[in-house]
Amino acid sequence: MENLGNLGKEEGEALSAIGHSLRAIRRQRGMTLRDVDRASHGRWKAVVVGSYERGDRALTLKRAIGLATFYEVPLDQLLGLEAGGARGSQPSTDSRVIFNLVAIRSLAPDLPPTFIRYLQELCRERSDWNGEVLTIRGSDTTALAIIADIRREELAQWAIDRGILISAN
């Protein structure tokens, strides 16, 4: 486990906000930590989820995606990035980004697998199977930027450079 004692104030606040979001989502589902352990058949141990919720343990991106899938919530909501969430600056929900799904499929080996999986989950949640384009909200761009390991402001250029962006506003 990573030593979290050396985190700066901002990182500590971010872990705390994520922890509050995790706890709120679990409670919204009427689950105790023990319920999470049982429902996940031991994949999500009560002691580990509790340490994420308290901010005592860093949550990796892979584990965050797994928990988002388990709780059936978008990754940005799990991380407290939704409007009204615990994070300070919220992306505009009226901005839209349109991805070229055909290009993404052809470039799949060169793109982060979690990036592709996140877009697939958005299609699944919306029952949007046209297969050509996917329009995402501004709030989803934050999660995609995290997955691509870039800043949110760099996402459009990152996608343009890879030929997967149709438009952004």
Per-residue model confidence as pLDDT tens digits over 132-150: 788 888 778 888 989 999 9
Number of other CB atoms surrounding residue 79 within 10 Å: 25
> What are the structural domains, with CATH classification, of the chain?
4-78 (1.10.260.40), 96-168 (1.10.10.1930)
Helix, strand, coil shares of the chain as percentages rounded to 5?
60, 10, 35
Per-position DSSP letters for 47-80, written without gaps between them: HHHHHHHHTSSPPPHHHHHHHHHHHT--HHHHTT
Residue-averaged pLDDT of the chain? 81
Task: Report the predicted TM-score, pTM, of the whole model to 2 decimal places.
Answer: 0.47
* Residue 87 pLDDT: 40
Per-residue model confidence as pLDDT tens digits over 67-123: 989 988 888 878 877 444 334 333 344 467 888 888 898 998 899 999 988 988 888
